[in-house]
Amino acid sequence: MARNIGAACRRCRREGLKLYLKGDRCYSDKCSYERRAFGPGQHGQARFKKLSNYAVQLREKQKVKAMYGMLEGQFKLNFQKADRQKGVTGENLLVMLERRLDNTVFRLGFAASRNQARQLVRHKHILVNGRKVDIPSFLVSVNDIITLKEKSRANSAINENLEAVARRGIPSWIELDKDNFKATIKAMPNREEITMPIQEQLIVELYSK
């Protein structure tokens, strides 16, 4: 399966925003974006002319792609599905991205980053309704029960992540039973709980050209 293996911190600096791609490092003084809050490369600190409308829309799409760890083909497919649904396309897209299993595992605190969450899913550490699911793009639904495999519950990294999850908070659409390594999907994600500065309408305008 194709994946982006480029330097994560460069992506944050390219978008001019901390995307929290490296877990605990992003909250520490080791964060590259905090130390060098300018674009990567030899011209990163140079001043550029005002971006065109297309460039602004493109950067917004690239930012959201990087945030959720997706490639162009995957992201476009999700947009097309969101566009076919009833309601506001941009909000449909963000809700669909939030419902991805790798994002859900990250949100409930089993992993420190979405990349780490994707690894847990691919290595079959995660059960959905008692069954192993190793597809990161699997969409969770209301009343789904997400649990950690019995043999994985002694993993020190996962336990440390669960202790640290209070720092970023757990969204209200997930109910976490930390002691039993179990979470229940209480409702669909809503736009108000996606607190990262995302302007989804720019993505809709880009794909509508």
CA dihedral (40, 19, 105, 87) positive or negative: negative
CA distance 65 to 186: 26
Strands 174-177 and 131-132: unpaired
Query: In CATH, what is the architecture of 100-191?
Result: Roll (3.10)
How far is C-alpha 111 from the chain's CA centre?
Answer: 11
- 202-to-55, 62, 124, 182 alpha-carbon distances in Å: 10, 11, 36, 36
Task: Enter the pTM of the model.
Answer: 0.80
Contact 23, 120 (CB under 8 A): no
Show pLDDT as tens, one digit a residue, over the chain (209 residues): 455 555 665 665 565 666 665 555 555 555 555 555 555 555 555 555 677 899 889 989 998 998 898 899 999 999 999 999 999 999 999 999 999 999 999 999 999 889 899 999 999 999 999 999 999 999 999 999 999 999 999 999 899 888 888 777 889 999 999 999 999 999 999 888 888 888 999 999 999 87
Instruction: Using CA atoms of 199, 200, 201, 204 in order, give the dihedral in degrees to the nearest 10.
Output: 140
Placement of tokens 């999700």 in the chain:
78
- Report DSSP letters for the chain, one per residue: -----S-HHHHHHHHTS----SGGGGGSTT-HHHH--S-SSTTTTS--PPPPHHHHHHHHHHHHHHHHT--HHHHHHHHHHHHHSSS-HHHHHHHHHHHBHHHHHHHHTSSSSHHHHHHHHHTT-EEETTEE---TTPBP-TT-EEEE-GGGTT-HHHHHHHHHGGGT---TTEEEEGGGTEEEE-S---GGG--S---HHHHHHHHT-
| Token pair listed for 198 | 């995302």
pLDDT at 207: 93
